């Protein structure tokens, strides 16, 4: 097969033009669709998090994941839409704003000015609050998985500061940037999340929080309902996990961490990770304290080769646990001498959706490839989290095989393999799609897909609303804000 050169597949300059500083903070700016109509029954707020400052005093971050976090809120109300955005006022952001220069190293390779000598033995990490955003109780939490969350006002986006969640967390304790929301498999809806302490032996703290207030039971939204800690052999690089009614499923990638180049100022901490060619990945299945196996020890099962950032979903079937994940053949990274905007996509492994069926009694794992198209940021209907699902939505490459920037939204029928495509190509580049069920819907795909698109032609961001059933455009809104390629978001229904 002959592969077209990247220059003919997409306009690199248009893709790279998104990596810029956000220079303004807006408050409740009303928006009008350029095409289509905003559904009147789409009521709530779309929150998005991602790096908003990628350069300071002429020095650009080495990797966009090192950029300071900025929250965007798009508030829907009976057909009207308004936008607000704020940087998360972390301590490090405030220090660097006041100094007018870079003061901290970044996990993904960004260095302070002054070369290796200036960076050697400076092991401080700036909590950049740039990865996820969720509402828990009356707090909006900006998440960065290496440290505590920052609390913001859900309406004004004002930063209240570090949150220890009422004493649940200790100062400096890691708290995942990728929680999962149990829609109510047991007594009540929950936010299930974790923190991990890594080392030669790693410890996972699994936590479940109430997401709704139950006055009769004396439970408030945001209360910690249950937790447990489990330790495992080996270094744990964990960004995401999956849940079923009874299990929290983690994939320990076969990754080694050599901290010496980080200590000596040569690399960022994440650049010190590398796949172990003779290593064995493991599934760690931790019984949930709200489930049928509470109190039992974890199950540890050999996992397939490859590297996983994100899972689609997990579910149980006659005692088996089925996990659907996006697999890379190797850990993708940006080396110290590499310009991330000039990365050769043909040399980076693509993410492919695969299903692993784990038979707990025997430890056997059967793997099935679900799609050959490069994809990321896959999700199911949130009301079906942890259950068998027919449909999945994901960001994907425009071509059917090979690695490229994400330019289309794909709906995949997990039963038949049929797929539908909405394309932003050639000038548009997509991010994580969020599926919002229609109020009162009974069909799994009855709702909308909310998608932030980088419009390279006008060097700005568009909000696109798609019908989740057929991916037809419902509305396109050109935003008065240029939002860099981001990470994770969430939908909060109006209350």
Within 124-200, strands assigned E span 132-136, 139-143, 150-152, 159-162, 180-182, 190-197
pLDDT of residue 4 exceeding 50, the answer is no
What would the mean pLDDT of 406-423 be, rounded to a whole number? 97
Band (pLDDT 50/70/90 cuts) for residue 56 is: very high
Q: Report pTM.
A: 0.95
Mean pLDDT of 423-438: 97
**Short-list 342, 340, 339, CA closest to 7:** 342
In this structure, the strands spanning 406-413 and 419-423 are antiparallel
Cα–Cα nearest to 153, from 131, 165, 135: 135
Over the stretch 451-481, which tens digit does the pLDDT of each residue have?
Answer: 999 999 999 999 999 999 999 999 999 999 9
pLDDT(365) > 50: yes
Compute the half-sphere exposure of residue 139: CA atoms within 13 Å on the CB side of its CA: 21
Give the whole-number percent of the chain exceeding pLDDT 90: 86
Strands (E), 198-291: 201-210, 224-233, 242-243, 247-252, 255-257, 273-275, 282-287
pLDDT tens readout for residues 248-307: 999 999 888 888 988 999 998 888 888 887 789 999 999 999 999 999 999 999 999 999
pLDDT at 1 over 80: no
List all residues 6 or more positions away from 279 whose beta carbon is below 8 Å from its beta carbon.
254, 255, 256
Average of pLDDT values for 201-217?
A: 96
- Mean residue pLDDT of the chain comes to 94
**Burial of 249 (C-beta count, 10 Å sphere; 0-12/13-18/19+):** buried
Looking at per-residue pLDDT, the higher value among 338 and 412 belongs to: 412
Q: Which residue has the tokens 């248009």?
A: 14
- pLDDT for 375-387, tens place per residue? 999 999 999 999 9
- Give per-residue pLDDT as tens, 93-116: 999 999 999 999 999 999 999 999
Is residue 173 packed enough to be buried (19+ CB in 10 Å), middle (13-18) or exposed (0-12)? middle
Which residue matches tokens 């996006």?
A: 326
Mean pLDDT calculated for residue range 189-200: 94
Position 5 confidence tier, pLDDT thresholds 50, 70, 90: low
**Torsion sign across C-alpha atoms 58, 61, 64, 67:** negative
Rounded Cα distance between 355 and 402, Å, is 20
Q: Give first-to-last CA distance, the chain, whole Å.
A: 54
Residue 293, pLDDT score: 96
Q: How confident is the model at residue 216 (pLDDT cuts 50, 70, 90)?
A: very high
Q: What is the pLDDT of residues 118-141, one digit of tens each?
A: 999 999 989 999 999 999 999 999
Q: What is the pLDDT of residues 138-151, one digit of tens each?
A: 999 999 999 999 99
278 exposure class (CB count in 10 Å sphere: 0-12, 13-18, 19+): exposed
Segment 330-348, tens digit of pLDDT: 877 777 777 888 888 988 8
């Amino acid at each position: 097969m002959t592969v077209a050169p990247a220059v003919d597949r997409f306009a690199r300059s248009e893709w790279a033009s998104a990596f810029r500083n956000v220079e303004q903070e807006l408050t409740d700016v009303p928006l009008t669709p350029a095409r289509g109509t905003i559904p009147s029954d789409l009521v709530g707020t779309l929150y998005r998090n991602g790096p908003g400052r990628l350069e300071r005093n002429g020095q650009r971050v080495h990797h966009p994941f090192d950029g300071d976090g900025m929250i965007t809120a798009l508030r829907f109300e009976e057909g009207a839409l308004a936008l607000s955005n704020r940087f998360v006022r972390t301590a490090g952001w405030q220090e660097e704003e006041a100094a007018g220069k870079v003061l901290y190293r970044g996990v993904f390779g960004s260095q302070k000015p002054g070369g290796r000598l200036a960076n050697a033995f400076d092991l401080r990490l700036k909590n950049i609050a740039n990865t996820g955003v969720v509402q828990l109780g009356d707090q909006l939490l900006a998440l960065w998985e290496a440290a505590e969350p920052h609390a913001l006002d859900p309406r004004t986006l004002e930063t209240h500061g570090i949150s220890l969640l009422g004493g649940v967390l200790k100062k400096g304790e890691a708290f995942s940037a990728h929680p999962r929301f149990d829609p109510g498999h047991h007594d009540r809806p929950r936010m299930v999340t974790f923190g991990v302490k890594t080392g030669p032996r790693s410890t996972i703290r699994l936590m479940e929080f109430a997401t709704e207030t139950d006055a009769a039971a004396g439970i408030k939204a945001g209360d910690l309902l249950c937790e447990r800690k489990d330790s495992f052999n080996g270094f744990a690089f964990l960004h995401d996990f999956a849940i079923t009614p009874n299990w929290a499923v983690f994939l320990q990638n076969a990754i080694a961490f050599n901290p010496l180049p980080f200590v000596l100022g040569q690399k960022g901490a994440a650049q010190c990770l590398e796949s172990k060619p003779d290593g064995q990945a493991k599934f760690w299945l931790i019984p949930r304290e709200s489930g049928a196996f509470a109190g039992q020890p974890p199950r540890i099962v050999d996992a397939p080769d490859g590297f996983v950032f994100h899972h689609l979903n997990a579910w149980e079937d006659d005692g088996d646990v089925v996990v659907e994940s996006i697999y890379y053949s190797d850990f993708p990274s940006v080396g110290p001498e590499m310009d991330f905007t000039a990365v050769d996509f043909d040399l980076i492994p693509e993410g492919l959706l695969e299903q692993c069926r784990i038979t707990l009694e025997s430890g056997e794992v059967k793997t099935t490839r679900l799609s050959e198209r490069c994809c990321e940021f896959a999700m199911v209907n949130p009301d079906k989290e942890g259950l068998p699902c027919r449909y999945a939505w994901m960001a994907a490459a425009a071509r059917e095989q090979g690695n490229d920037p994400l330019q289309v939204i794909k709906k995949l029928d997990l039963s038949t393999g049929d797929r539908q495509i909405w394309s932003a190509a050639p000038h548009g580049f997509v991010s994580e799609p969020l599926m919002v069920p229609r109020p009162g819907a009974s069909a799994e795909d009855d709702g909308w897909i909310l998608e932030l698109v980088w419009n390279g032609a006008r060097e700005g961001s568009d909000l696109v609303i798609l019908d989740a059933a057929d991916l037809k455009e419902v509305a396109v809104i050109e935003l008065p804000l240029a939002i860099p390629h981001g990470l994770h978001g969430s939908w909060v229904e109006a209350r």
